Amino acid sequence: MEVALPEPVRAALSRGTKSVLVDSAALAAVRDRFDGAQAESLAHYLSESQSANTLRAYRTDWLAWSAWCAGEGRQALPAEPLDLAVYLAAAADATRIAADGGTKWAFSPATLDRKAAAIAAVHAANGLPSPTRADVVRLTLRGIRRVRKAQPTRKRPVLLGTLEALLAELPADGWPQGIARRRDALLLLMGFAGALRRSELAGLHLDSVQVDTDARTGEPLLIVDLGVTKTDPTGVHHQRVVLPRGQRPHTCAVCAFAEWADLLAAHAGGSLAQWLSEREEPARQVHRCHSYRTGPTWPQPLFPSVSRHGHLGDRPMTGRAVADLVKRYAERAGLDPDLFSGHSLRAGFATQAALGGATDREIMRQGRWTNPRTVHRYIRTANPLDDNAVTKLGL
């Protein structure tokens, strides 16, 4: 949003806003018609009409607007209403990293109103009609306020550290909570590593997941078939994501799948309560996936609903239930559940991958994003200084 400018240019722009409230042409007229003392008195009261803080903010706002215009090749004074509307919309979309590591909007609607007011003040001080009175600017500001009201906060991405905190809240093994333990671990790991949407997680079947071998390591990996893409005109292209083995067993999607597939097989055998009560806590240092080569393939939802009493439903979880699951674990981990949703896993994948140095092409491939702008937003969130001219100023 902010454009880095050489210091002389900044200084020149600042000079132009020495007084953002006093119309110097009007004062000259006062000097002609009355006298210098009257003009001075008027200038004094006009400049006192806003607090020092507001004036300071107005100058900063004017500078930011002038810099944006310089970068876009647009004219700051007088401003075209359409340019101002585009500027305000871009400022409304801008985000920053908050102190707690989450993503926040860079500017509140009140700050955006003030930015518009600052630009109006400089126009008034130069005896020019204000571009903020134009419908396109007023409606843009109104739209921003309405959108912000509708979505109070953008959902937080689940980064690796958060994912581990959620996994630490899995229930203990045994009957009946060992069912939810296995299902939820697999759902969280697949959602994160596969950058899956909540609807995609809810739509998976047991036979959507194939266990294959990683040619580079000889270790097992998961190939997840997400079905036919809607955007493909031929309609025969299956979307697939590959989930390699995790470094540690408790963050390994293949281990989690093996544990869950074992349970489903036991369930089909009809002895789930006994199977689970005989089950000891699996040794966390050893990958279950090492010895796992093939899973059960009968048709059933991969993520069925599970009752508190350990009843495995025939129906898949709904997308809403997937989101509630993420919120539930966030709350158990002491996080605000309102900040998390099903999308947090997918957003977390992109942000964590960007933090790990993945290119946008790599992130787009796993996440099946087709619009680079979406991915760039996550990358900017992860590395605000990456690919940013401000690092090349030599400061």
* Strand partners for 225: 240
Nearest to 296 by CA among 207, 180, 186: 207
Nearer to Zn ion, 76 or 254 (CB): 254
Which of 282, 310 has the CB closer to Zn ion?
282
Q: Is 247 helix (H, G, I), strand (E, B) or coil?
A: coil
CB of 295 to Zn ion, least distance (A): 14
Closer by beta carbon to Zn ion, 258 or else 326: 258
Residue 173 DSSP code:
S
Stretch that binds Zn ion, among 138-146, 154-162, 239-247, 380-388 (CB under 5 A): 239-247
* Choice between 254 and 364, CB closer to Zn ion: 254
**Measured from the CB of residue 265, what is the shortest distance to Zn ion in angstroms?**
18
Query: What angle do helix axes 343-355 and 360-367 make, rounded to 10 degrees?
Result: 150
Query: CB under 5 A: which stretch of 16-24, 25-33, 60-68, 247-255 binds Zn ion?
Result: 247-255
Closest approach of Zn ion to the CB of residue 249, in Å:
5
Rank residues 119 and 254 by Cβ distance to Zn ion and give the closer one. Answer: 254
Residue 43 touching Zn ion (CB under 5 A): no
Write down the least CB distance from residue 219 to Zn ion, Å: 8
Q: Which is nearer to Zn ion, 193 or 276 (CB)?
A: 193
User: Minimum CB separation from Zn ion for residue 151, in Å?
Assistant: 37
CA distances from 274 to 172, 174, 228, 279, 296 (A): 16, 9, 39, 8, 20
Least distance from C-beta 217 to Zn ion, angstroms?
11
CB of 89 vs Zn ion, minimal distance in Å: 46
Contact pattern for Zn ion over residues 362 through 381, marking x by CB under 5 A: --------------------
CA 374 to chain centre: 9
Strands 209-213 and 103-105: unpaired
Size of the site for Zn ion (CB under 5 A): 6
CA separation (Å) from 255 to 201, 243, 381?
18, 11, 31
Q: Kindly identify the residues of this chain, within the stretch 130-149, that bind Zn ion according to CB under 5 A.
A: none
In terms of residues, how long is the chain? 395
- What x/- string results for residues 252 through 291 when contact with Zn ion is judged by CB under 5 A? x-xx-------------------------------x-x--
Nearer to Zn ion, 28 or 168 (CB): 168
CA distance 192 to 177: 23
**Range 82-87, long-range pairs (CB < 8 A, 24+ positions):** 82/136, 84/116, 84/119, 84/131, 84/132, 84/134, 84/137, 85/134, 85/136, 85/137, 85/140
Interaction residues for Zn ion, span 305-344 (CB under 5 A):
none
Which residue lies nearer to Zn ion by CB, 213 or 271? 213
Burial class (CB in 10 A: 0-12, 13-18, 19+), 230: exposed
CB of 193 to Zn ion, least distance (A): 12
Task: Please tell me the distance from the alpha carbon of residue 186 to that of residue 256, in angstroms, as a whole number.
Answer: 5
53: CB partners within 8 A, 6+ apart: none
Number of other CB atoms surrounding residue 315 within 10 Å: 8
Shortest CB 224 distance to Zn ion, Å: 16
Say which residue the tokens 């294959």 belong to.
212
Q: Between 167 and 375, name the residue whose CB sits nearer to Zn ion.
A: 167
**List of residues contacting Zn ion (CB under 5 A):** 245, 252, 254-255, 287, 289
